[in-house]
Amino acid sequence: MFGFGLIKGLLITFKNLILPSRLFTVHQYPDRKVGPIELARYHQDWQNTSFIQFVINNPIKTIKSLIGLISIQDRYPQHSRFRGQEFGWYENRCTGCASCAKYCPLGIIKIETSRSGVDLDEGQKYKVDVFDIDMGRCMFCGLCVEACPYDALFMGSGFEESKYFRQELNIDINNLKNNDTKPSNWFRPQLESKNYDPRRNGALEWDQVGRHQKPTDTDQANKWSKR
Amino acid sequence: MNINNFQNIINSLIPGLPTWLVFITSAILISFIVINAVVITGALTVWLERRLLARIQSRLGPNRWGPFGLFTPVADLIKMIGKEDTVPATADKKIFNLAPIVLLVPVLLVFAVIPMSNNSFLGQLNIGILFIVGVTGFNTLAVFMAAWSSRNKYALFGAMRGVAMLLSYEVPMALSIISIVLTTNFLLNIDGSNLSALSLVGIVQAQKIPFFILQPLGALIFVTAASAEMSRAPFDMIESESELGAGYHTEYSGIKFAIFQLTEFLAPVATAAIISVMFAGGIKGLSFIPGSVILVVKIFVIVLIFIWIRATWPRLRVDQIMNFAWKFLLPLSVINIFSQAIILQIFYSSDSIITINELWTIAFINWILAGISIFLLAKLFGHKGRDKNIPIPSKLANMEFTSE
Ligand code: SF4
Ligand code: SF4
C-alpha cells in the first residue's frame, strides 16, 4: 500500500532502538564500559554473589556504572594456536643449526654461532652468540617454527606490541633469553595434546616442550652400539 | 523571564538610568543568556543524535569522554578551534567569512519569539509567525553565499540544487502556516481575545485542542517542508556526503566549520520549537507543570522524532524531491487551506460559535479528509500511474530488445 513501506522502516529502526538484545557490530577494546547488570555478572565470576547482593555490597560502584563511568578489562577468547609476537626460544634446545634463518622468506633472522667446546664427541654443538629477529618486517608466517628440528623456536601469542621506535621491534638474544616463554601451540601438537594455553597457563621450561621424551641412557647406548 | 522583567530589575537596582541605557543593557543580558543556552542545547543535540543514531545502527557512538561520552562535543569544539582556518586563494573573502554568521544568526533569532511562558523572551511580537518565515528564509542566502564564495564546484552543485529545493519547499510551508493563522483567527475572534492571529502567543492561546489533531494535513505538510527547509535527511540535498564531499561547506575548516556544524544541529531544535508552538500546543498541557517545562519536553520529543526519521529513511533523488514539493505538497496545502476555510465557516455560521465538541468533530472530518486527499493525490501523481519510460537501446548496441 502507498506509504506503508516508510512506516515499516520506522518500526524496524524503532525496534532496534528499544530492544536490549541488539547485535553489536563493534567490540570495545581494550576495556569496555558496563552497566550494573554486566558488572555484577563480571564480579560473579569470582565472588558468587547475586545481582541484588552485589548492589547492596557495592552501592557506589553500581551508581558509577549507571552513569557509565566504570569500564572492565575483558579480553575476548583467543585461540591457543594464534601466531603472534614475543617469539619463544630455548637456549638449551637450540643447536645453532640456523634452519630457521634459512627458511624465513624475508631473511629477518640473523644467527651467529661460535665453537662452544661442548659435546665434542658427538660432533660440535654450537654456541649461539647472536639471535636477532626483526619483528618490524616479520609476517608471522611461522615457517621458522616449522623448520626448527629441535623444537627450540616457538611463536608467541601477543598482538598489541606497537612501539615508538623501529629499533625497539628488534628482538635480540638477551630478550629471547630473559623473557618468560609462553609458547603458542602453532605447529606444536605436543603442547596442544596437553591442553596448554599460552594466555591462561604459565611459562614452560625447556624440558617441557619437546616433541619426544628425553632418551634414556639405555636408549642412547643401544643406538650407538648398533652403529 | 523576558525583557520587561529585566528592565524592571535593572531599574530597581540602579534607579535614575536613562531608558535607552536600561533597554540596551537588559537586551544584551537576555541575549547573552538565551544564546548561550541555545548553543549548549545544540552541543547536547550533537551528542544525542550521535548516540541515538549509533544505537539504531547497532554501534556504540561516542562513549569515552565523560559519562556516556557526554563531553564529546567539548572535545570536538577544542579540536575545531585548534585547527587552521583556511581560506581558498580564489575565494571571495568577505562573503566567505560572512556566510557562517548569516547562517547561524537566523536560527538564534527564531528563539527570540518562541513563547516560553505567556510571553516570549524579547517581548510579545504581534507578527511572530511572519518574523519566523522571514528569518528562516535567510538560510537559502547563506548557503548560496558559502558555496559561491568558496569557488568549489562541489559546493556550488550542492548549493544550486539546495537553493532550488529550499525555495520550492518554502511555498507549501507558508501555505500550511496560512491555514493555521486562519483557524487561529476564527477561534480568537470567537473568544473575543485581542491577540493577533499572527503572533505565536495568539496561536498558543487558540489551541483548545492541539492543532496537529485539528489539522493533520497541515501538520504533515509543515513537518515535511520544515525538515526540507533545514535540509536534513531524507532531504539532505545540500550536503549529500556520498555525492558532493561535504556540499556547500566543503572548503570550510576550523571555527567556521564548527559554526556550520552547530547550525546544522541547532536547526532541528529551532524547527522543533516552532512545530511544538504551532501544532502541539506550546506551553499548554498539564496545568500543574510549568509551561516552559512542557514546551522543553515537547521540543525534545520532536527532536527525537527528527533523529528517528534521519536514521531510517534514505535520501531522495533531486527530481523526486522537486516532484514531491510541486506535485504533492503544493496541491495538498491548497486543499488544506480551502477545506479549513469552508469547514470552519460552515460550523461558525450555524450558531456563530465553535464549541470544543464541534472542534473534535472538525478534527475527525479533517483526519478523514487528509486520508482521502493523500490517497487521491498519490493515485494521481504517484509513479504507479505513470507510463514507464523504457529506454530503447541503439541498433549499434546489437542488443535483443523486448518490450515488457
Ligand atoms: S614467522 Fe615467518 S617471517 Fe617471521 S621470522 Fe618466522 S619465518 Fe620469518
Ligand atoms: S631455533 Fe631451531 S632452527 Fe633456529 S638455530 Fe635454533 S635449533 Fe636451529
Give me the interface pTM, i.e. the ipTM: 0.73
- Residue A53 and residue A100 in one domain: no
- Total H helices, total E strands in chain A: 9, 7
- Residue A107 and residue A159 in one domain: yes
Domain ranges, residue A122: 84-208
Q: How far is A162 from chain B (nearest CA, A)?
A: 22
Which residues pair with residue A114 across a beta bridge? A127
Q: Which atom of ligand 2 is nearest to the CA of A98?
A: 5
**Contact call for A16 and B313, based on CB within 8 A:** no
How much is the pLDDT for B165? 85
How much is the pLDDT for A109? 92
- Residue B257 and residue B310 in one domain: yes
Nearest CA to ligand 2 atom 2: A148
- Residue A57 and residue A109 in one domain: no
B392 domain-assigned: no
Distance A102 CA to ligand 1 centre (A): 10
Least confident of A24-33, A62-71, B224-233: A24-33
B55 touches chain A (CB under 8 A): yes
- Residue B62 and residue B99 in one domain: no
B385 domain-assigned: no
- Residue A40 and residue A136 in one domain: no
A24 touches chain B (CB under 8 A): yes
B393 domain-assigned: no
B181 domain-assigned: yes
- Residue A99 and residue A58 in one domain: no
- Residue A111 and residue A162 in one domain: yes
Task: Determine the Cα–Cα distance for residues B258 and B101; give it in Å rounded to an integer.
Answer: 11
CA gyration radius for chain A? Answer: 26
Q: Which of B29, B48, B82 is the last residue of a domain?
A: B82
Q: Which of B33, B65, B82 is the last residue of a domain?
A: B82
Q: What is the mean pLDDT of chain A?
A: 82
Q: What is the pLDDT along chain B (404 residues), one digit of tens a residue?
A: 677 777 778 778 877 778 788 888 888 888 888 888 888 888 888 888 888 888 888 878 887 777 778 888 888 888 888 888 888 888 888 888 888 888 888 888 888 888 877 666 666 777 888 888 888 888 888 888 888 888 888 888 888 888 888 888 888 988 888 888 888 888 887 777 777 778 888 888 788 888 888 888 888 888 888 888 887 778 877 776 677 777 788 888 888 888 888 888 888 888 898 898 888 887 777 777 777 788 888 889 999 988 888 888 888 877 788 888 888 888 888 988 998 888 888 888 877 777 778 888 888 888 898 888 888 887 777 666 556 667 776 666 665 656 55
- Residue A58 and residue A105 in one domain: no
Domain count, chain A: 2
| Residues ≥6 apart with Cβ < 8 Å to A183 | A88, A154, A155, A156, A191, A196, A198, A204, A209
- Residue B110 and residue B59 in one domain: no
A214 domain-assigned: no
**Contact call for A6 and B382, based on CB within 8 A:** no
A7 domain-assigned: no
User: Contacts for B54-58 with beta carbons within 8 Å, 24 or more apart?
Assistant: B55/A16, B55/A17, B55/A22, B56/A13, B56/A16, B56/A17, B56/B308, B56/B311, B56/B312, B57/A16, B57/B311, B58/A16, B58/A22, B58/A23, B58/A24, B58/A25, B58/A26
Contact residues, B window 68-127, toward A, CB-based 8 Å cutoff: 68-69
- Residue A59 and residue A159 in one domain: no
B403 domain-assigned: no
Residues of A in contact with B63 (CB under 8 A): 28, 33, 68
pTM score of the predicted model:
0.74
**Contact call for A26 and B60, based on CB within 8 A:** yes
Contact residues, A window 52-71, toward B, CB-based 8 Å cutoff: 67-69
A216 domain-assigned: no
A60 domain-assigned: yes
The answer on pLDDT for A1 being more than 60 is no
- Residue B72 and residue B91 in one domain: no
Kindly list the protein residues whose Cβ atom lies closer than 6 A to any atom of ligand 1.
A 103-104, 106, 108-109, 133, 138-144
SS3 B161: helix
A227 domain-assigned: no
Domain ranges, residue B22: 1-82
**Contact call for A14 and B374, based on CB within 8 A:** no
Domain count, chain B: 2
Distance A107 CA to ligand 1 centre (A): 8
B136 domain-assigned: yes
